[in-house]
Chains A and B, each alone.
With several copies, the nearest count.
Chain A
Amino acid sequence: MTGSSPDLSVEIAGIRMKNPVMSASGTLGYGTEYEPYLDLSALGAMVTKAVTLEPREGNRPPRVRETPAGMLNAIGLQNPGAEAFIEEKLPEMRRFGVPVIANISGRSIEEFATLAEMLSVEGVDGLEVNISCPNVEEEGMYFGVDCELTGELTAAVVAATELPVIVKLSPNVTDICAIARAATEAGADALSLVNTLVGMSIDVEARRPHLGNITGGLSGPAIRPVAVRMVWEVAREVDIPIIGMGGIMAAGHALEFILAGATAVAVGTANFVEPATMQQVIDGLASYCRRHGVSRITELVGALEID
């Protein structure tokens, strides 16, 4: 970095990141899968696929399906479970020298708390509480759409760990601000939004759903306008940092979230389309700052002009 380069570093709930670009949960595996295509050490942070207490097989196939400018997924939280994660996956992820945030998903408040405790280990820099995974019945969805439950869950996780707690919100709600307030008041250190919108697509020749799970989570550029709107609404309601995501494919999209009020951004589906997306976004943010004479990216957070 030359002296003239802008300062892209940000801090999310005490997690220092050299730039605001992170991977979205469930879209970068545990990092190693993308090593041939991307210098992961350049990222601001890495977020894991959802970690659950016990190992999970995941949903029946097909699990993914393309939709207009987006995709539906119903992976079903497939993961090796907390223990195996800590023993096998975590060390792998550490190698890249960037903060690792563990995305946790539980069936009950107790399970979330237990998970939070278990994952409060050397090498995990923060927890992202997935209260909004739309794919597993009676789970994530159940919490994320209710203010009280969101509050209780957040409080329980906060009490169970010393780590920064990031609550990841579901967009499938009437009033995202109410949920955001509930999480904030319960002690969340930051918020991630958005998770996927619940969607469905049908094979009309076979007269069957494309996904084995019938419904799935919609992600990708298609949902970006909804995600940006929610970040903008929430940013004006709460004063904890926001990690914005939903359809980011390029720096310009990341800037929409940042201007709307996000301190950091996460890239998900775009990784599948172009493995170098996160690097491109980082470079694009730097050149935008240069072009606009912005010395610190943080100057842009919430800098949207409304009259």
Chain B
Amino acid sequence: MARAVAILKRRENVAPGHYLLELSCPEIARSAEPGQFVHLRVGDGTDPLLRRPFSVMLTRPSAGEVQVLVRTVGRGTELIADHEVGTRYDLLGPLGHGWRLPEATENVMLVAGGVGVAPLIFLADHLRTAEPKPYVRAIFGGATEDALACWTEFASRCEEFTAVTEDGTAGETGMATDVLASEIERDRPDRVYACGPDAMLVVVAGICRQAEVAMQASMEQWMGCGVGACLGCAIPAAGGGYVRVCTEGPVFAAEEIDWERMTPR
């Protein structure tokens, strides 16, 4: 947890509205753990004003390199999409608590929705070299093919991989959560790791509770400080009150969250 300067080495438009940033940032590359994020300042003015949080997708410590996958949804991400190679970013990180790793021999399931794939790619990459190695299955869902950015990076790091789109433009047709349910039927995993839209995570949490499968989820919330000071990134905690996505999270055990109150209005 410190501040760092990252220099944009490469920017690739990996899918419509999705940009893969290759950043040179030795500190983060060395210290980031799967599931952690960086809080990045876009520009040096007031538009945008606040930093923007992005999960670390991959690191190459030896090369001092960090990869981040950015989906354009507004002002900040659209500016990033236009940045030239050589752009310098001021960022805070690595921030938050990442995935708690499985017992070695476990059979784990990774469930990604859209750009939520980023922290799961990092996890899958990490698990590849775990000793002895857990068996890793993955489900990657999106509205259309366009939402499955970096799916090869994801698939190539898992033993089994299922892509699913709502419109059937890629992989199976349907929702990631449907696939999860049938996969649990077929071969119950010991643990589920999920990241994606709240709506998806709520359903995944429901399925896992039912099937009594341990689950961790990487959550999102609009952020102020990113370091635990402003209490802006609160989400409902199990048993009442709130937890901070930036500090207690972004990765939480399913039991820590009040999924009832998480349900999108």
Contacts and interface: CB of A to CB of B under 8 A. Distances in A.
Do chains A and B interact in one complex?
Answer: yes
Interface of A: 26-29, 33-34, 36-37, 49, 57-58, 60-66, 68-71, 73, 75, 78, 208, 220-221, 249, 269, 271-275, 307
Interface core residue of B3, B46, B231 (most chain A CB under 10 Å): B231
Given A63-B222, A64-B230, 9 more contacts: A29-B227, A29-B228, A58-B231, A66-B48, A66-B49, A69-B46, A73-B224, A221-B46, A271-B229
Contacts of B229: 27-29, 33-34, 271-272
Given A29-B230, A271-B229, A275-B92, A61 B221 contact: yes
A78 B221 contact: no
B232 interface: yes
B47 A68 contact: yes
- SS of B interface (majority): loop
Interface stretch (B28-36, B100-108, B157-165, B235-243): B235-243
Given A75-B232, A275-B92, A37 B3 contact: yes
B92 to A, nearest CB: 7
B50 interface: yes
B226 interface: yes
Given A28-B229, A57-B241, A272 B50 contact: yes
A60 B221 CA distance: 12
B50 A66 contact: yes
Contact of B49 (A34, A58, A70, A275): A70
Interface in B202-259: 221-236, 240-242, 247
28 contacts: A33-B228, A36-B227, A37-B2, A37-B3, A58-B234, A58-B242, A60-B236, A61-B221, A61-B233, A62-B222, A63-B232, A64-B222, A64-B230, A66-B222, A68-B47, A69-B49, A71-B224, A78-B231, A220-B46, A220-B49, A271-B225, A271-B229, A272-B51, A272-B225, A273-B41, A273-B51, A274-B90, A307-B265
A61 B49 contact: no
Contacts of B50: 66, 71, 272-273
- SS of A interface (majority): loop
B1 interface: yes
B49 A71 contact: yes
A26 B228 CA distance: 11
A36 B234 contact: no
B232 to A, nearest CB: 4
Nearest to B240: A57
Nearest to B90: A274
The 8 closest A-B pairs by CB, nearest first: A29-B229, A64-B232, A69-B46, A33-B229, A272-B225, A33-B228, A272-B224, A64-B224
B100 to A, nearest CB: 22
Contacts of B236: 60-61
Contacts of A275: 3, 92, 227
B92 A73 contact: no
B242 A57 contact: yes
B231 A63 contact: yes
B226 A272 contact: yes
Contacts of A208: 265
Interface in B19-37: none
